[in-house]
Structure 1
Amino acid sequence: MARRQSRVLNDEEEVQLDMTPMLDVVFILLIFFIVTAVFVKEPGVDILRPETQLRDREKPTLLVAVTANDEIYVDGDVYELSQLRNVFEQLREENPRAEAMIQGDLGAPAGTVLDVQELLMDMDVPVKVSTQE
C-alpha cells in the first residue's frame, strides 16, 4: 500500500512570508505623508519684534523680515526693496492664495516696513505685521 502524504507541516519545513506587499504599503504611506506635509518657511534671521496685547496666532505662507540694519530677508536670502516685486511674484505663482507676514525688528526703519507692506498690498497679497506678545 502506498503512503499518503500528510497535509500537516513537518517541523523541518520553513514557512516564508513574502514582505513585498507590506513594503509597498509602507512606501505608499511615506509618499503620502511627504506630499501632504506643510513646511514652515522661516525668514532666515532672528527678529526682536515690538510687543502687543493681542494673542491671535497667524500661519502665513510668506514671511518677510526687516532687520535693524535695513536688510530685507525673504526665505533666508537678503534682497533690496527694488528686487522684492519679482521675488513676491515668483512666490505668488507657487501659491496664489499666499498670505504675508512682515517681521520688523524693534530698530528697523518704519519706512522700510511700510514700503514692503505697501508693495504687498499693491499686489493684492493679504499682509500683517508681526508683533510679540
Structure 2
Amino acid sequence: MRDISRKDEDQGQVIDLTPMLDVVFIMLIFFIVTASFIKSPGIDVQKVRTVTAEKTKPSILVGISESDQIWMDKNLIKDNLVKLQLVRLFADNPKGGMVIQVDGNASIEKIALVADAAREVGITKISVSTLND
C-alpha cells in the first residue's frame, strides 16, 4: 500500500519548464544580437610594422601567407582563380576597396599578382595591411 500512495504523490508534482525556456531563448537572442562579426581572409599572418599605417574599413580582404598561399573569404584560392574570385567579390560592393594582409615572409610576386588582378577587375583602392608602432 505504501507504494501506491507514493505514486500518487509523484504524479501530483509537475515542473513547468516554460519560464526556463523563455529565459534561454531571451539569452540566445541577446547573444545573437550583440555578437560582433569580423571579416577575415581565413588565415593569421604576421604583419610588417610601419609608422604610417592607416585604419580603413575594407570590403574585400585578401590574405597572403608565409608559404605564398592566397586566401579570400576563408578559402584558399589558386593563382589562376584570383581574378575570378575578385570579380565576384567586387560585384557585391563595386564602391569598396581591397586590403591585402601579407605575411612578412611572403614573396612580392604574390602581392603583385593580387594587385594586378585587382586593377584588371577595376578595384582602384588597394591597400596593404601593416602593423603600426
Counterpart Cα distance in 2 of 1:74 and 1:40: 14
* 2:79 corresponds to: 81
Structure 1 segment 8-47 matched on structure 2, within 5 A: 40-47=38-45
* 2:129 corresponds to: 130
List alignment gaps of at least 5 residues for structure 1: 1-29
1:91 aligned to which of 72, 89, 92? 89
1:58 aligned to which of 56, 59, 64? 56
The C-alpha deviation readout for 1:64-116, integer Å capped at 9, x for no partner, is: 00001110000100001110111111111211112100011011111111111
Normalising by structure 1, we get a TM-score of: 0.68
Counterpart Cα distance in 1 of 2:117 and 2:84: 11
* 2:14 corresponds to: none
- Alpha-carbon deviation of 1:39? 5.2
For 1:110, give the aligned amino acid: I
List alignment gaps of at least 5 residues for structure 2: 1-28
1:103 aligned to which of 91, 101, 115? 101
- Indicate conservation of the 8 Å contact 2:46/2:102, yes or no: yes
Normalising by structure 2, we get a TM-score of: 0.68
Q: Secondary structure at the match of 1:107?
A: coil
Counterpart Cα distance in 1 of 2:47 and 2:67: 14
Q: Secondary structure at the match of 2:101?
A: strand
Q: How many residues align?
A: 98
- Alpha-carbon deviation of 1:40? 3.5
**Percent of counterpart pairs with the same letter?**
24
Q: Secondary structure at the match of 2:113?
A: helix
Q: Secondary structure at the match of 1:73?
A: strand
Give the RMSD, CA atoms, in angstroms.
Answer: 1.8
For 1:132, give the aligned amino acid: L
- After the TM superposition, list the runs of 4 or more consecutive aligned residues in structure 1 that deviate by more than 3 angstroms: none
